[in-house]
Structure 1
């Protein structure tokens, strides 16, 4: 396992994020999470578990979830959520760029709304590839770079200035779908959508949902 980068500490954002995640569940994101995780099975590594909002949506085919969360306050919330989950969940400290797991340990890796904020996206995806067994699946739901201007111009401007500072390191303009392929995954299925689907598209609205296989 590679050495870990510096620890994540976003005390203000973490508290806001915890409240926003809970509100999102009540406003319809719970249904999205259930759909994203419906076919997850076996031993699962979830990267960037946040406050643990995914835990309630893991299906019976999951035998264990190892949930990695580097932010201390969010990790505490995730540990509370793990105690309420039907699936067996173990919350651990760790970074996406240096996952605390051996090679090929997991059947499935789950990444939901986290690859936008990791310090090194290519390294994080390389780590997800490493910890999956051959044939293992990456299940992802991420907000991503828009497909065309002018929204891409706005995303780039935000990423260069204020957005990462106020949103816990989040970047709205990353081409995550391309990076998944570049990391050695074969995309099985991917759909693009907007959340929220407003009349004027928001910079954080373009999303991708899909699965990719480690070959």
Structure 2
């Protein structure tokens, strides 16, 4: 299923290059470091993570609903150091069998999905018991003042101009509510300097799916 945002997609593709140069590339490397086996990347965008997967990963299924971004990810796939297949699909309905993935990677995607709880249930469904959820997201601020700003922008134009992006989602709480155990978590601001913006608070971490069946 396609979710077409051609104007946003073009702007995002350009901005992602500048963001990587400003420090996001290092976060992408941390995000996927140490992964192995079969990986599903949800919301792969234009494929900026693909170059960073370690050789122990046997296969990446990169799922992206936006056609322009998916085409850019397909163009990037042959240069990745691991085998990559790019497919259309939604975070809320992944084209993956139950328990087929050793890891699921979420990168700057839960801010814009229509229902984060459903997307996280899907991630848990496709993970093998004890599999890893790796996440890199911008999230709700820890300070009351910036949280108020996030509520205002999320209720006005921000989601409209940013393909449904919401700045104030409590993604870590949602991951825990979906049944994952968060084992590693780094909170930081990006960019790290200047006045904090609504999308400045970020998290990067690892969570583990339950070993026992639901």
SS of the residue 2:144 aligns to: coil
Residue among 158, 167, 191 paired with 2:186? 191
Tell me, in whole angstroms, the C-alpha distance in 1 between the residues paired with 2:118 and 2:129. 19
Residue among 4, 7, 13 paired with 1:9? 4
* Residues 76-111 of structure 1: per-residue CA shift (max 9 Å, x gap): 000000011111000000000000011000000000
Report the CA distance between 1:134 and its aligned residue: 0.2
Report the CA distance between 1:9 and its aligned residue: 1.0
Tell me, in whole angstroms, the C-alpha distance in 2 between the residues paired with 1:86 and 1:132. 23
Q: Does 1:138 align with 2:141?
A: no
Q: Does 1:154 align with 2:149?
A: yes
How many residues were matched structurally? 210
* Residues 160-190 of structure 1: per-residue CA shift (max 9 Å, x gap): 1100011111000000000000001010111
| RMSD of aligned alpha carbons | 1.0
Q: Does 1:84 align with 2:79?
A: yes
Tell me, in whole angstroms, the C-alpha distance in 1 between the residues paired with 2:135 and 2:45. 15
Report the CA distance between 1:7 and its aligned residue: 3.6
Tell me, in whole angstroms, the C-alpha distance in 1 between the residues paired with 2:194 and 2:66. 35
Structure 2 partner of 1:36:
31
Report the CA distance between 1:202 and its aligned residue: 1.1
> Which sections of structure 1, spanning at least 5 residues, go unmatched?
1-5
- For residues 199 and 211 of structure 1, do their structure 2 counterparts lie closer, same or farther at Cα, with a shift above 3 Å needed? same
Structure 1 partner of 2:47:
52
